Amino acid sequence: MGTFPSESDGVEALKAFHAERASSSNLNMGRIRVADYLTDWLGLVRSQFEVGHLARRTVGGYEEAVRLHISPGLGHLRVADLNHLVVHRWLTSLREAKGLSDRSVLKLYRVFHRAMADAPLPTNPAALPKHLRPVVRSKREIVRPTPDQIGQFLDHVQDCDRSEYLFPLWRLAAVSGMRRGELAGVAWSDVDLDGGSVHVERSLGVDGGVVFAKAPKSAAGRRLIGLDVDTVAIFRSHRTRLAADRLKAGEEYEVEPLGLDLMFRAGPDGSLLRPDYVSGYFVDEWKHAGLDPGVTPHSLRHTMASLLVAEGYTIIEVAAHMGHTPEVLQRVYARDLNPEVREARVAETVAAHF
């Protein structure tokens, strides 16, 4: 700065230097073919898998998307040739010429957008204005069971001999709205039965058939869940049952699968309860209870969020309980469970004021 007449002159010169440098870098990057860049990018993706930042399935999905659709459609172009019109024409051809579904086209767009976001460019050439972005026209309908249906399900599994090890799991899923990986990853050290709470500290995931412990889905995922007295009593009985199983099985009992004293087990031998099996077990029991089909453990999560909003909890409070941001909670989870009750209350309010 001392070589310039004033500090502001020095700042302007520094800005000009960085702008010139960026322009030179962009020019060199622009000459590269998209296919060559994507080859280098996949190398970056594989290195992220090696250090544990990406799952094997995710890496495989990226490689397949690049090999089957992105490189054949855009690989011959230079990076400098990319713009939103080129990208939009490519996406349109995927749908019209290749017959891909809206969901597949959206997935390919997201992969290409992420790839180009990692390029050393001032803006992402794959970014599309909102009106040109691919959308899924027919979204899967989320079935939200009513609290009464969930109560019927819990009564059913409580009296079912084959559910004695999983009934406490279904109870926690119903009263907490936790994700299946979070449920499978609860350790006894996370549970405070005297205080009536459970800390969500981890989630179990599956990669290539191997189960592993990982951090919760997001930073908000680490949270405190309160437990009602009935759930605490169920957990106390469950702990007593597990202690009896361990004593009976002796050395054959799997004390700490994954190095954790997990709360929920697959059977009397203490074997690991795989998170990818939880949904299958739940759906089987839900059907066995004679309830409406289409409900999964994640459906209980949607019901919980909607129920808490209906009970008057603020969006911030419900989002914290669910381990989400308020924006995601409002967009995805919270819905009006009982429009008849809502409109009856609205009619009463209107009548009182008019």
**Planar angle of CA 170, 171, 176, nearest 5 degrees:** 100
DSSP 8-state class, residue 135: -
Q: Where do the domains of the chain lie, and which CATH numbers do they carry?
A: 31-132 (1.10.150.130), 147-292 (1.10.443.10)
* Averages of pLDDT over each 10 residues, the chain, 354 residues: 73 68 58 93 89 81 95 94 94 93 93 92 89 80 87 91 83 93 95 95 87 86 93 95 94 93 93 91 92 90 88 89 85 70 75 77
pLDDT tens digit sequence for 196-243: 999 999 999 887 788 999 888 888 889 999 999 999 999 999 999 999
Q: Within 13 Å of residue 154, how many CA atoms lie on the same side as its CB?
A: 19
End-to-end CA distance of the chain: 71
Q: Within 13 Å of residue 300, how many CA atoms lie on the same side as its CB?
A: 25
Asked if 38 and 82 touch (Cβ cutoff 8 Å), the reply is no
Tokens of 348: 């009463």
Under 8 Å CB-to-CB from 54, ≥6 apart: which residues?
45, 48
Asked if 168 and 234 touch (Cβ cutoff 8 Å), the reply is yes
The pTM of the full predicted model, rounded to 2 decimals, is: 0.67
Tokens of 130: 């909102």
pLDDT of residue 20: 58
CA dihedral 63, 65, 70, 76 (to 10 degrees): 30
Amino acid of residue 237: S
